């Protein structure tokens, strides 16, 4: 039986269908979840997709944090359910205090859209266990408010605890502190990242298929199989 991965749609979500498709291509069952749902429909993991929930009003992710589904989601995340926040989903996770820090407007003020090279810094999360530590991948990046900021103490903590999950290579596209593209919580089950692995799962539409491993990793973690040996 394949694992069931929920994908939450907020008003203004854009990448929910792509995230569902990535889950299916990885071999899982994608379960659409609605922001107003009062429970998680028994899913085994959740993806918070990219987009502009609630029009990015006030701050990106600030209003989505108080959607009905976020109560049970935060509880489940604290109990260890794998949760991946991509782009706007990352912003929602920070606003929910499931992840430390915040995402602020790109330092150069422009919206950035490019194929971005990243280094996977941690394969110790259920979402990245299929990558070799240090593996370099290319996935699309598209954001206007993707600058990761946190105080120095928090940044040091993330580094020493191995919670920087991915880092930008070549260029820092948005002014993120220490080139951070993605982080995890202390337990490792909650991961947020600005770049979009769900847009790099098919050669027809993506710059690579490097992103698919996020989804195959979590399915393996959920079905109890060991992570694959990286090529």
Partner 1 sequence: MARVVVDVMLKPEILDPQGKAVARALPGLGVEGASSVIDVRIGKRIELTVDGEVDAATLAAVEELAHTLLANPVIEDYTVRAE
Binders of partner 1 among residues 187 to 206 (CB under 8 A) are none
Binders of partner 1 among residues 49 to 78 (CB under 8 A) are 58-59, 62-63, 66
Contact pattern for partner 1 over residues 109 through 148, marking x by CB under 8 A? x-------------------------------------x-
Stretch that binds partner 1, among 10-18, 46-54, 94-102, 135-143 (CB under 8 A): 94-102
CB of 147 to partner 1, least distance (A): 8
The C-alpha atoms of residue 119 and residue 114 are separated, in whole angstroms, by: 16
Closest CA to 18 of 183, 196, 180, 204: 196
Tokens encoding 59 = 């701050």
The C-alpha atoms of residue 83 and residue 73 are separated, in whole angstroms, by: 9
The enclosing H or E element of 31 equals strand 29-34
104 binds partner 1 (CB under 8 A): yes
Cβ-contact 189, 82 below 8 angstroms: yes
| 32: β partners | 7
CB of 226 to partner 1, least distance (A): 37
- 96 or 135: CB nearest partner 1: 96
- 108 or 230: CB nearest partner 1: 108
First to last CA, the chain: 26
Which active-site residues does the annotation give?
87, 196, 198
CB of 197 to partner 1, least distance (A): 25
- 25 or 149: CB nearest partner 1: 149
The C-alpha atoms of residue 162 and residue 40 are separated, in whole angstroms, by: 29
């Amino acid at each position: 039986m394949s694992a069931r991965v929920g994908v939450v749609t907020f008003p203004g979500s854009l990448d929910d269908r792509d995230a569902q498709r990535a889950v299916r291509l990885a071999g899982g069952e994608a379960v659409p979840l609605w922001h107003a749902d009062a429970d998680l429909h028994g899913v085994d993991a959740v993806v918070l997709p990219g987009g502009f929930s609630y029009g990015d009003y006030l701050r990106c992710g600030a209003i989505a944090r108080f959607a009905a589904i976020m109560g049970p989601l935060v509880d489940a995340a604290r109990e260890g359910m794998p949760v991946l926040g991509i782009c706007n989903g990352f912003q929602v996770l920070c606003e929910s205090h499931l992840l430390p820090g915040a995402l602020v407007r790109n330092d150069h003020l422009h919206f950035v859209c490019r194929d971005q090279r990243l280094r996977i810094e941690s394969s110790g999360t259920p979402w990245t266990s299929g990558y070799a530590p240090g593996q370099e991948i290319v996935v699309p990046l598209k954001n206007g408010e993707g600058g990761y900021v946190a105080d120095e103490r928090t940044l040091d903590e993330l580094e020493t605890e191995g919670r920087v999950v991915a880092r930008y290579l070549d260029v820092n596209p948005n002014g993120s502190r220490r080139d951070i593209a993605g982080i995890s919580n202390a337990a490792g089950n909650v991961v947020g990242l600005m770049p979009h692995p769900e847009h790099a799962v098919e050669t027809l539409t993506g710059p690579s298929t490097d992103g698919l491993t996020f989804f195959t990793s979590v399915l393996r973690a959920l079905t109890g199989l060991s992570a694959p040996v990286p090529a």
